[in-house]
Amino acid sequence: MSAPAPFGARLAAAMDAVGPLCVGIDPHAALLAAWGLPDDVGGLREFSLRVVDALGGAVAALKPQAAFFERHGSRGLAVLEEVLAASRAAGTLTIVDAKRGDIGSTMAGYGDAFLADGSPLAGDAVTVSPYLGFGSLAPALERASASGRGVFVLCLTSNPEGRQVQHAAGADGVSVAASVAAQAAALNEGASPMGSVGLVVGATVGDAVRDTGTDLDAVNGPLLAPGVGAQGAGPAELAQVFGAARGSVLASSSRGVLGAGPDAADLRRAAAAAAGEARAALRPGA
């Protein structure tokens, strides 16, 4: 069997086909209650698989938040495995939002879990944290490259505490965020239509890209943008944050779409509306 196309190419095709929208699967207690479901493994499974059934094939990617599955222990992780398998069967890319970061053999272990062929926890991509040094991500990056999967590296996040690390500058005057973006760009050099090493850049970070000197235009990889819709980012905010790099942005919405549930038709309508808004904001004229 031939190797799959690299993640960046597969994601670019999906974004072109159905719009640049990723929907998070965030089964936290309040949302389960809003859907009339119990905060237990049964409710977790019912919620998550309903989302996949409703939105599989209708959005560019689904992004299960690992923490909301892990909080239910081993049975919750088994549900995450089901969600990934169901999404794969529906032909929809998955980004496991796990934000893992460690060193050496431990980082390699995370890579095996979330990026290696044959692992039931492996989606098409995973989020990772570079704050033990970008070089600490090497084991995960190597596994992603070998299996045709992708990684999204935290770069500029919307939480106020993130500025302390991400905006800090080294002795050379280069900010941590700018350094992370430059190292991702180096790994994506020459890839077409875009590379498989993406960045996480909050859609509500305002002038942070400019203030940190972060060159998103040069990344040549996908830019995962949480904060679209219910969290406040619309067309103006997206233009402010991403500028000329908007065409590489995968807008992420969770509450804005999931709040329309539990009816499958309502979820599809909410996702279609969000995808249309994202396309208009990020790819005007497309």
State how far the Cα of 57 lies from the Cα of 86, in Å rounded to an integer.
11
Q: Is 63 a catalytic residue?
A: no
Q: Spot the catalytic one: 9, 13, 88, 99.
A: 99
Helix, strand, or coil (residue 263): coil
Q: Which residues pair with 200 in a beta bridge?
A: 154, 224
Residue partners of 65: CB distance under 8 A and separation at least 6? 24, 25, 26, 27, 97, 254
Burial bucket for residue 61 (CB in 10 Å: 0-12, 13-18, 19+): buried
Work out the end-to-end distance of the chain between its first and last CA atoms, rounded to an integer number of angstroms.
35
| Residue at 81: amino acid letter | E
DSSP 8-state symbol, 246: G
| Residues with active-site annotation | 99
